[in-house]
């Protein structure tokens, strides 16, 4: 049984102004997250990601549908039951949301106080958590004395204080620079491997999914348009809206605007070849082109690595006799995915 | 100067009475204002105890009473003061009325300062399973403590100002002293002495408030 299971979940907000339209932040959503997963949820701003993650710990209540966490129906819980549920679900935020009136140690201790942990057990647990996130020397500091990365590490320590089984990360690295992002992601990986915590990561950053997630769902307009293994979804998205999103975050596919610019420089035929997982060598494709008498120039491209599995897109400008190019494309189409850019008018 | 010297004991007595009136009004009005302000803050939409009707009632209540000039409020509330405290005159009556009036003013200051707390901080506390009342008492007030102290300092200064009309209902204090012995006796020096004491009180209060707020904000 999945650890988190959402069935036909809808969340609507009443119109913000009189006579306005009802806003459906999430609609008819189904999602299963297994224990031990690092589940990425990716999509444009306003796709409903933040609402979705808050439905899991009931910071937002669903308008309809069923939400099971560890077999318990969240949507029917009373306030006191919700508080118990939340002790088992940690959460970290884009803006860290640390308590400015408390020290680092005080921030980490707060959930323990809420959980009525015996006083004598709090200090050792706080020390243990600060050691885990590498901030033992900052226990007596206040949040404003910390860097962004340190703040998020305090956030992680606070979220883990009550030893939850689930950690929700809402754009947890979006306010951090690339290097700090990397450190925080490594820390989250350790949370998953060392404590077996199931992590749900909301992000619009490809890097986060690429380095962290084991599975991914693409959200658009309050729905999940595609979900599955990270490599499959990113190397070969099947739905139009996920293709559109993936193409904005995956390196190597020229955007429409870039294609127009490329067209001006290369009047011939332009094709994009998509390689996945090393099942076709680039060399074989290039030699096919050469044998057919087609000259080519690499004009755009990129190679992506997702946890050791590689895929890439190469855009070529082809020159040669029309029938030779047709023949060559027919040959290589049996080996790789070929997408031809529409010719210019 | 010769007018003032024989009145000095009365000046000290009046200073003491002003501090007495302001101090007790701050305690009662401050507490009432804190509760009313928490009510305003927590019942507004998307807050801890969102409740439109309750917020509406509190909001109108505060809006009705807060703008009434204090000297008129003092007269209008006299029957109420008599009913609650047993007397409609003297320092007890003025403390009652002043506390009541201050509570409405303080409630807005409390509400405004609580609104400076980032909603995300409240959300973080909810996400670890804290109850709403726990959040209100152990988090909301500490998070807004610095600005709250400055707000209350501002109110103390306003209370000193308002307490000066106590003489109208037979109360004492520096206002009564200045009118009775200075203005009515044509002794401006006596009036100015009362002014000087008020300036000193206000400066000390503001100094203390700034100091405490700086400590709370750690800057």
- For an interface test with B, give the residue of A51, A82, A101, A159 to mutate (most B CBs within 10 A): A101
How far is Cα of residue A126 from the mean position of the Cα atoms in its chain?
29
Cβ within 8 Å of A, B 37-66: none
* Nearest CB partner across the interface for A59, out of B118, B121, B126: B126
Nearest CA in chain B to A57: B127
Residue contact B124–A99, C-beta within 8 A: yes
- Domain membership of residue A345 (yes or no) is no
- Indicate the pairing of strand A4-13 with strand A89-93: unpaired
- Residue ending a domain, choose from A215, A249, A283: A249
Tell whether A204 and A152 lie within a shared domain.
yes
Nearest alpha-carbon partner for A29 in A2, A11, A54: A11
Chain B positions touching A111 (Cβ under 8 A) are 128-130
Write the DSSP string, chain B: -TTTGGGHHHHHHHHHHHHHHHHHHHHHHHHHHHHHHHHHHHHSTTSTT--HHHHHHHHHHHHHHTTS-HHHHHHHTHHHHHHHHS-SSHHHHHHHHHHHHHHHHHHHHHHHHHTTS-HHHHHHHHHTT--HHHHIIIIIHHHTHHHHHHHHHHHHHHHHHHHTTGGGGT--SHHHHIIIIIITTT-HHHHHHHHHHHHHHHHHHHHHHHHHHHHHHT-
**C-beta neighbour count of A248 within 10 angstroms:** 12
Chain A positions touching B45 (Cβ under 8 A) are none
How far is Cα of residue B123 from the mean position of the Cα atoms in its chain?
31
Tell whether A236 and A262 lie within a shared domain.
no
* Nearest CB partner across the interface for B127, out of A91, A99, A101: A91
Tell whether A214 and A270 lie within a shared domain.
no
Chain A positions touching B139 (Cβ under 8 A) are 99, 101
- Domain membership of residue A268 (yes or no) is yes
* Nearest CB partner across the interface for B124, out of A87, A97, A142: A97
In chain A, how many H helices and how many E strands?
12, 14
Which ipTM score applies to this complex?
A: 0.86
Cβ within 8 Å of A, B 145-164: 145
Nearest CA in chain A to B46: A60
Tell whether A163 and A19 lie within a shared domain.
yes
Chain B positions touching A97 (Cβ under 8 A) are 118, 120-121, 123-124
Tell whether A233 and A289 lie within a shared domain.
no
Tell whether A165 and A307 lie within a shared domain.
no
How many inter-chain contacts (A to B, CB under 8 Å) are there? Answer: 71
Residue A275, domain CATH: 3.30.70.260
Nearest CA in chain A to B141: A101
* Nearest CB partner across the interface for B128, out of A102, A111, A142: A111
- Asked whether the beta carbons of A124 and A200 are under 8 A apart, the reply is no
Residue-level pLDDT, tens digit, chain A, 345 residues: 899 999 999 999 888 777 788 888 999 999 999 999 999 999 888 888 999 999 999 999 999 999 999 999 999 999 899 999 999 999 999 999 999 999 999 999 999 999 999 999 999 999 999 999 999 999 999 999 999 999 999 999 999 999 999 999 999 999 999 999 999 999 999 999 999 999 999 998 888 888 899 999 999 889 999 999 988 888 888 888 888 888 777 777 888 888 888 888 888 888 888 888 766 778 888 888 888 888 888 899 888 888 778 888 889 888 888 888 888 888 888 888 888 887 654
Alpha carbon dihedral A224, A228, A234, A237, in 10-degree steps, equals: -60
Chain A positions touching B143 (Cβ under 8 A) are 99-101
Q: How many domains, chain A?
A: 2
Q: At what angle do helices A178-195 and A148-160 cross, to 10 degrees?
A: 20
Residue A269 — φ and ψ, nearest 5°?
-85, 140
Residue-level pLDDT, tens digit, chain B, 219 residues: 677 888 899 999 999 999 999 999 999 999 999 999 999 999 998 889 999 999 999 999 999 999 999 999 999 999 999 999 998 899 999 999 999 999 999 999 999 999 999 999 999 999 999 999 999 999 999 999 999 999 999 999 999 999 998 888 888 899 999 999 989 999 999 999 999 999 999 999 999 999 999 999 886
Tell whether A62 and A210 lie within a shared domain.
yes
| Helix (H) / strand (E) containing A108 | helix A104-114
- Domain membership of residue A310 (yes or no) is yes
| Residue-level pLDDT at A56 | 95
- Only one residue has tokens 């690429």, namely A210
Beta strands, E only, chain A: 4-13, 23-33, 38-43, 64-69, 72-73, 89-93, 166-170, 198-203, 215-220, 223-229, 269-276, 295-306, 309-319, 337-340
Tell whether A215 and A276 lie within a shared domain.
no
- Residue ending a domain, choose from A249, A282, A300: A249
- Domain membership of residue A104 (yes or no) is yes
Interface residue ranges in chain A relative to chain B, Cβ cutoff 8 Å: 57, 59, 79, 82-87, 89-91, 93, 95, 97-102, 110-111, 114-115, 142, 144, 155, 158-159, 161-162, 168
Domain with A279 in it: 256-340
**Residues forming a β-bridge with A168:** A91, A200
Residue contact B129–A161, C-beta within 8 A: no
Nearest alpha-carbon partner for A89 in A108, A66, A106, A70: A70
* Nearest CB partner across the interface for A86, out of B121, B129, B143: B129
For chain B, list the domains and their CATH numbers. Answer: 19-170 (1.10.3720.10)
Tell whether A26 and A124 lie within a shared domain.
yes
Residue A180, domain CATH: 3.40.50.300
Residue contact B123–A114, C-beta within 8 A: no
| Residue-level pLDDT at A345 | 47
- For an interface test with A, give the residue of B116, B121, B128 to mutate (most A CBs within 10 A): B128
- Residue ending a domain, choose from A228, A249, A270: A249
Sheet holding A23-33, edge to edge: A23-33, A4-13, A64-69, A72-73
Chain B positions touching A115 (Cβ under 8 A) are 129
DSSP letter at A146 equals S
- Domain membership of residue A292 (yes or no) is yes
Tell whether A274 and A152 lie within a shared domain.
no
Tell whether A155 and A17 lie within a shared domain.
yes
Q: How distant is the Cα of A85 from the closest Cα of chain B, in angstroms?
A: 8
**Dihedral over Cα of A161, A164, A170, A176: its sign:** positive
Helix (H, G, I), strand (E, B) or coil at A324: helix
Measured CA to CA, the distance from residue B212 to residue B208 in angstroms comes to 6
Residue contact B124–A93, C-beta within 8 A: yes
Helix (H, G, I), strand (E, B) or coil at A89: strand
How far is Cα of residue B179 from the mean position of the Cα atoms in its chain?
23
Tell whether A222 and A311 lie within a shared domain.
no
């Amino acid at each position: 049984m999945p650890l988190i299971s959402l069935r036909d979940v809808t969340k609507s907000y009443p119109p913000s102004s009189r006579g306005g339209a009802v806003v459906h932040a999430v609609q008819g959503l189904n999602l299963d997250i297994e224990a031990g997963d690092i589940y990425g949820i990716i999509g444009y701003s306003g796709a409903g990601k933040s609402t979705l993650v808050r439905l899991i710990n009931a910071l937002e209540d669903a308008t309809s549908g069923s939400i099971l966490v560890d077999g318990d129906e969240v949507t029917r819980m009373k306030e006191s039951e919700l508080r118990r549920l939340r002790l088992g679900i940690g959460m970290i935020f884009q803006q860290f949301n640390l308590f400015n009136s408390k020290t680092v140690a005080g921030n980490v201790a707060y959930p323990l106080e809420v959980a009525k942990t015996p006083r004598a057990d709090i200090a050792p647990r706080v020390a243990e958590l600060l050691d885990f996130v590498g901030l033992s020397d900052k226990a007596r500091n206040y949040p404003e004395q910390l860097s962004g990365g340190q703040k998020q590490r305090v956030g992680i320590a606070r979220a883990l204080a009550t030893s939850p089984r689930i950690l929700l990360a809402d754009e947890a690295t979006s306010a951090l620079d690339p290097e700090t992002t990397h450190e925080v992601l490594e820390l989250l990986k350790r949370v998953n491997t060392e404590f077996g915590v199931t992590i749900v990561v909301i992000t619009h950053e490809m890097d986060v999914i690429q380095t962290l997630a084991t599975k991914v769902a693409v959200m658009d307009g309050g729905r999940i348009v595609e979900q599955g293994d990270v490599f499959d979804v990113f190397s070969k998205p099947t739905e139009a809206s996920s293709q559109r999103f993936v193409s904005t975050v995956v390196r190597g596919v020229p955007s429409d605007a870039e294609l127009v610019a490329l067209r001006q420089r290369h009047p011939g035929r332009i094709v994009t070849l998509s390689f996945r997982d090393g099942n076709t060598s680039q060399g074989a494709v290039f030699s096919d082109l050469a044998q057919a008498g087609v000259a080519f120039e690499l004009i755009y491209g990129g190679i992506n690595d997702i946890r050791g599995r590689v895929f890439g897109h190469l855009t070529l400008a082809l020159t040669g006799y029309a029938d030779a190019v047709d023949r060559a494309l027919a040959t290589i189409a049996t080996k790789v995915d070929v997408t031809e850019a529409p010719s210019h008018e | 100067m010769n007018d003032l010297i024989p009145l000095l004991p009365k000046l000290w007595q009046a200073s003491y009475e002003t501090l007495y009136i302001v101090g007790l009004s701050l305690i009662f009005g401050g507490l009432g204002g804190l509760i009313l302000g928490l009510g305003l803050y927590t019942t507004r939409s998307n807050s801890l105890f969102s409740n439109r009707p309750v917020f509406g009632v509190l909001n109108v209540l505060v809006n009705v009473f807060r703008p009434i000039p204090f000297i008129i409020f003092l007269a209008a509330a006299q029957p109420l003061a008599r009913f609650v405290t047993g007397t409609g005159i003297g320092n007890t009556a003025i403390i009652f009325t002043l506390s009541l009036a201050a509570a409405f003013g303080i409630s807005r200051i409390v509400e405004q300062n609580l609104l400076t707390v980032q909603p995300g901080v409240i959300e973080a506390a909810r996400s670890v399973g804290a109850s709403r009342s726990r959040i209100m008492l152990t988090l909301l007030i500490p998070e807004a403590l610095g600005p709250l102290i400055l707000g209350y300092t501002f109110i103390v200064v306003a209370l000193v100002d308002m307490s000066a009309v106590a003489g109208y209902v037979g109360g004492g204090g520096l206002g009564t002293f200045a009118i009775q012995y200075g203005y009515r006796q044509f002794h401006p020096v006596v009036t100015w002495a009362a002014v000087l004491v008020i300036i000193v009180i206000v400066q000390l209060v503001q100094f203390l408030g700034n100091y405490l707020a700086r400590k709370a904000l750690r800057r």
